[in-house]
Structure 1
Amino acid sequence: MTYQAIMFDIDGTLTNSHPAYAHVMAAVLQEYGKPFNDDLALKTFPMAAEQAMVTLGIDANDFDHFQARYEAVMAEHFDEIDLFPGIADLIKHLPADLKVGIVTSQRRNEMTGGMAKYPLMARMDTTITADDTPKRKPDPLPLLTALKNVHVQPSDALFIGDSLSDEQTAAAANVDFGLAVWGMDPNADHQQTKYRFNQPSEIAALFD
């Protein structure tokens, strides 16, 4: 299969951001008197912000304040977030004519703050965040919007992610899905995966 576009999730796929997420979320939830543990961290990590807040018991009237506090505290921890080993080389060696993009549940200011330091962002032909579409993953709209931006049909694209939400997004969009095993929840039951990539170099091998 020769793909014309490859789209990536960020958290757990490009970046090892789970430790920072768990630390920041615990701190913000403490301000609200809410509990947080490893199980909740794994459950909410791949969710869009609104879905995570509902799951964590945040009142809808507090969503804006909670999100603002989360983003403010996370901004203090961007330096703790690193690319997974091999990601920079993967992006660098993708074919020049391949359309490359990001589809994330992060807000745009969070993505910009956390990712701007990486040269690979200059390679992105499109980036879709939670601010760019009225629906979030696992709805297919964010992924389909990214593909529309680069003029590629779903049948000619590959989406790389680490979560069930990413897998469901790809399935709903009729896009092939590649599981980033290095960042996946080991307890997740993935059933609609075309590829299981144990390391980023295996993705590059598709385009050799």
Structure 2
Amino acid sequence: MEEETLSFKCVAFDVDGTLLDTEKAVLTSLQRVLLEETGKAPAAEQLRFVLGIPGVTALEQLGVPDCDAAFAKWVAYAREYDHLVTVFPGIPEVLDQLQNAGATLGMVTSRTRVELEGDIVHFGLLERFHAVICADDTEGHKPDPDPLLKLMADTGFSPGEVIYVGDTVYDSQCARAAGVKFALALWGAGDPNVPCDYRVAHPAELVEICRPAPGR
């Protein structure tokens, strides 16, 4: 795909459930933390709401007494389950295609930079992204628009030039609040009915979405 004029000049991606399949590692390590901190380990399905929000926020909502200490433990335990983390099929290829077409790639995640460094660096994805916004970088977090607003401030793109690809309602709400189009990554989404502008079954479809419509 040669460089061309694109409908969206910046394609921003969420990490968990969009670039990486981390659900089992995240929830298994969280269950372990909760068992130690509260004496109870809810079923994974009851914990899926934590996917897409900052870890400390999730622990606060779960009623953990010392969230900072528990979060540090969660990060450490998650490392023990790194072998369960995989890159979703088609992601490396579509990142290359979008870059070759002239798109700027962004990453907007609720992970802290410490959390991000392990998986993303291990899989060789980080170097592909021009701008990376983590939970450390903004006061407000998804579903607030702050992370995407920060991305646009750093890259100079306007809302109409950006599309955000994510898998949760938090991602959708963040995009809507920032005035950015949202593509729902069905390959990682737990709920296929999350409000969105585009429902994307496979990463390769993003290339066509970013191409301008005929006559434009």
Question: If the TM-score is normalised by the length of the shorter chain, which range does it land in?
Answer: over 0.9
1:67-112 C-alpha deviation (Å, 9 max, x unpaired): 1100111122223211101001110111443111110001111101
* 1:198 aligned residue: 201
Q: Are 2:120 and 1:115 aligned? A: yes
Does structure 1 residue 80 correspond to structure 2 residue 84?
yes
Structure 1 residue 63, shift from structure 2 partner: 1.3
Q: Deviations over 1:18-38 (max 9, x none)?
A: 011111111111111133212
Instruction: Give the aligned partner of residue 35 of structure 1.
Output: 41
Per mean C-alpha deviation after superposition, the further-off stretch among 14-23 and 75-84 is 75-84
Choose 97-106 or 170-179, whichever is displaced more: 97-106
Q: What is the TM-score normalised by the length of structure 2? A: 0.89
Q: Report the CA distance between 1:12 and its aligned residue.
A: 0.4
Aligned AA (1:110) = E
In structure 2, list runs of 5 or more residues that go unmatched: 1-5, 212-216
Aligned to 1:10: 15
1:169 aligns with 174
CA distance in 2, matches of 1:64, 1:53: 9
2:162 pairs with 1:157: yes
Q: Give the whole-Å Cα distance in 1 for the aligned partners of 2:181 and 2:107.
A: 15
Gaps of at least 5 residues in structure 1 are none
> Structure 1 runs of 4+ off > 3 angstroms?
none
Post-superposition offset of 1:167: 0.1
Deviations 1:169-193 (A, max 9, x none): 000000000000111113x6423x1
Query: Counterpart of 2:40 in 1: which secondary structure?
Result: coil
Q: Is the 8 A contact 2:175 2:181 kept in 1?
A: yes
Instruction: Give the whole-Å Cα distance in 1 for the aligned partners of 2:78 and 2:117.
Output: 12
Q: Is the 8 A contact 2:108 2:151 kept in 1?
A: yes
Whether the 8 Å CA contact 1:104–1:128 is kept in 2: the answer is: yes
Distance 1:149 1:138 in 2: 19
**2:63 is equivalent to residue 70 of structure 1:** no
| 1:92 aligned residue | 96
Conserved? CA contact 1:101–1:125, under 8 Å: yes
1:41 Cα deviation from its structure 2 partner: 2.2
Residues 13 and 106, structure 2, Cα contact 8 Å, conserved in 1: yes
The sequence identity of aligned pairs, in percent, is: 31
Equivalent residue letter for 1:55: Q
Distance of 2:99 and 2:77 partners within structure 1: 37
Question: What is the aligned length?
Answer: 204
